[in-house]
Structure 1
């Protein structure tokens, strides 16, 4: 029998969890993420835990990136509630660095291995946001589908904030009233919005990177995955004026840049071999204009991240161009994006390894790691060896292409010494000589026949444009 969700007040959230799950030793709770973070529910649950005299079972909070305050990672609550974060910023990042939260390394495409049925974090409780379609009675998870479907498969309790500020998105974001046990209608906080990038006024270094990527790797009909940040924004800005057409999108995160190209008619998805006509994504994050654009728009379809980041689905959309960024690259071709060093956790591996591995064969497309050659403090992002004790988002055996403002290092098919020379050749001039000396002095870095430091090594295309830095 169809039944509507029961309406509860925000302050009742802890009592309902206790009523349904109070007999458990632990409660595995999955939290909706990113722009659709249910902050009011997180705060209400934390207040309940602080005041319930220890009655609620220990809670494991499983999630990817949460926006806004996350008070349950405060000092002193670790024995009652703890974050198991797959991607983090802000409060959760600080807590992980200080030992008050767990970083749970996992790519977005493989999250069901953590919390699917019979897995180590099989979900008991889901807390998320939804938007209702008053005409159909259906609910949409709006801006965040991520891995919620995997969580719903085993959850015995589902609590949702009914948020009119969230767009009603199409695709696998749509669920029925029967999937929700309780709705919270009052005192919730709106979705998180962010300023849209200025795609026409970007830094020269970023513009050079964008120019090289579009000139050397893009072609009509390609499918795109473009991350967020100044460099991916520069790629979008360059694509917008480059004359390419009938591009498609399959991505874990759809932002203002992809909307910008879709509005211009550059992204049409007509050439995609699956989900033809639709941009597919598991998350949406950006400006209010973006949220207005995706509201009820059938051309933007939500899918779980296990679908958007599936190697088979990515390969089926080929030829594919994936553009992500990183914290650093070493001379062996190792790439890292989730740690600055072993003592400083930065965020998470996200979906970067999913796209890198899916595109390891050239027949499917190109996985690009694009980054500026130095930090804002002038420190080289290209180093002889990756910091000991960190995880990698791409390894030396993955076929990636590195792009900096100085050029392209296509590492696919190159042996170790060749990789090192190619990467060093696109490093910042202030650091290049020392990096090349490191390769020259290291017998493990076998040099090509006829090796000379004044030659452009195999796999390298230096920047030849007109943008000065």
Structure 2
């Protein structure tokens, strides 16, 4: 690793149209992201690939983005506005499909910007709180530039990288991006209780980020022998692990160990992850693999969506004509849970959305079908649980009307009949 004194000179030296990949999620290197934005105008229109930055993504602001071709597999908080405004381009793939794009050379990285832990005695750094598709990018042997951060946890699993594989390094000046616990209201609490009633002892959990997933996890403390295999984990899993509710004793793949591709939380949570052998981080080529998930007995996939139509297909990507998100890991886990023995795919959503309190149960989706009806067992709102699997078209529609907001049920029933 050579100290990087002048990031601007490095960025300016890149060939025209070079592809720059940023470490994703809560591991995005904040100093390098700022430098990329600052020097965007001096570059020769590079392609920048980012996934799920959860803080400010300065390179996506209007002025720097005008000099870049910005792409994202999943916008997260940091790229949502840029994606909706057209400053970022959507790469609409489930997470399981991302590593093969790099393996096959359909996407080739020239530069990889990472945030890593300091080297250990063996000369290895850790990828910390995000592994996801970084292994597939590293296999292409791009120029690797890393921020070294003493507050990045040295996580276990497939996270180690020889320091000699890093070409340039700089010291991080701030901690990894944090995630404060999300605020929930009475509606979230009721939905969480309804979801929790579907989870059984020994289930292997997958859940996402946000107030609702956090409340669902917080409602499962009475269960025993739970497992955890997820695309992302947050601070909400810690009480379940420390209480023993999650012990991973029922898992066939990596029994006794929680598995994830990335994590987000407070610095206290990152300290909890440091050298914690009970929580392993692996690439999404493993965590989201169809065969791995289908072989996971009792996989319970719990995901939030924006809309569900009267047959059970769901839109998790657009709302009111605005692009909010991309598929992420939802199709992978919904399909895996449906195929797993004893598995269950649960979709959760509020019955209304927006200032006009429009129904989230709709006759037709306003956006793409992120998952189709055959990938769904239950749809849950604050008004109850709709059991969909195995029912006729009429039965599915009736079950969904019953969990819609009362103000919209008559209109939905008429639409279902029509």
Structure with the largest fraction of helix: 2
The answer as to 2:234 corresponding to 1:272 is no
Residues 66 and 87 in structure 2, CA contact (< 8 A), matched pair in contact too: no
SS of the aligned residue for 2:395 comes to helix
| Alignment partners' CA distance in 1, 2:401 and 2:266 | 38
Specify which of 134, 138, 141 is matched with residue 124 of structure 2: 138
| Alignment partners' CA distance in 2, 1:155 and 1:364 | 41
The answer as to 2:198 corresponding to 1:195 is no
Residues 19 and 48 in structure 2, CA contact (< 8 A), matched pair in contact too: yes
Q: Is there any run of 5+ residues in structure 1 with no aligned partner, and where?
A: 443-469
Structure 2-normalised TM-score?
A: 0.94
| Alignment partners' CA distance in 1, 2:381 and 2:375 | 18
Aligned length: 417
Residues 197 and 256 in structure 1, CA contact (< 8 A), matched pair in contact too: no
SS of the aligned residue for 1:126 comes to strand
Residues 38 and 64 in structure 2, CA contact (< 8 A), matched pair in contact too: no
| Alignment partners' CA distance in 2, 1:128 and 1:166 | 11
| Alignment partners' CA distance in 1, 2:10 and 2:387 | 55
Aligned CA-pair RMSD: 2.0
Specify which of 387, 395, 407 is matched with residue 410 of structure 1: 387
Q: Deviations over 1:69-96 (max 9, x none)?
A: 3232333545631210111145532222
Residues 319 and 363 in structure 1, CA contact (< 8 A), matched pair in contact too: yes
The answer as to 2:189 corresponding to 1:207 is yes
Matches within 5 A, 1:88-99: 88-90=75-77, 92-99=79-86
The answer as to 2:414 corresponding to 1:400 is no
Matches within 5 A, 1:371-386: 371-375=349-353, 377=355, 378-386=357-365
| Alignment partners' CA distance in 2, 1:47 and 1:230 | 34
In the TM superposition, what is the alpha-carbon distance from 1:36 to its structure 2 partner? 1.4
User: Which of structure 1's runs of 4+ aligned residues deviate more than 4 A?
Assistant: 76-79
In the TM superposition, what is the alpha-carbon distance from 1:44 to its structure 2 partner? 1.1
Match of residue 235 from structure 2: 256
- CA gap of 1:291–1:78, structure 2 versus 1, over 3 A, is closer
Residues 297 and 340 in structure 2, CA contact (< 8 A), matched pair in contact too: no
In the TM superposition, what is the alpha-carbon distance from 1:33 to its structure 2 partner? 1.8
Structure 1-normalised TM-score?
A: 0.84
| Alignment partners' CA distance in 2, 1:376 and 1:101 | 24
Match of residue 45 from structure 1: 36
Match of residue 158 from structure 1: 144
Q: Is there any run of 5+ residues in structure 2 with no aligned partner, and where?
A: none
| Alignment partners' CA distance in 1, 2:58 and 2:190 | 41
SS of the aligned residue for 1:63 comes to strand
In the TM superposition, what is the alpha-carbon distance from 1:174 to its structure 2 partner? 1.2
| Alignment partners' CA distance in 1, 2:402 and 2:28 | 43
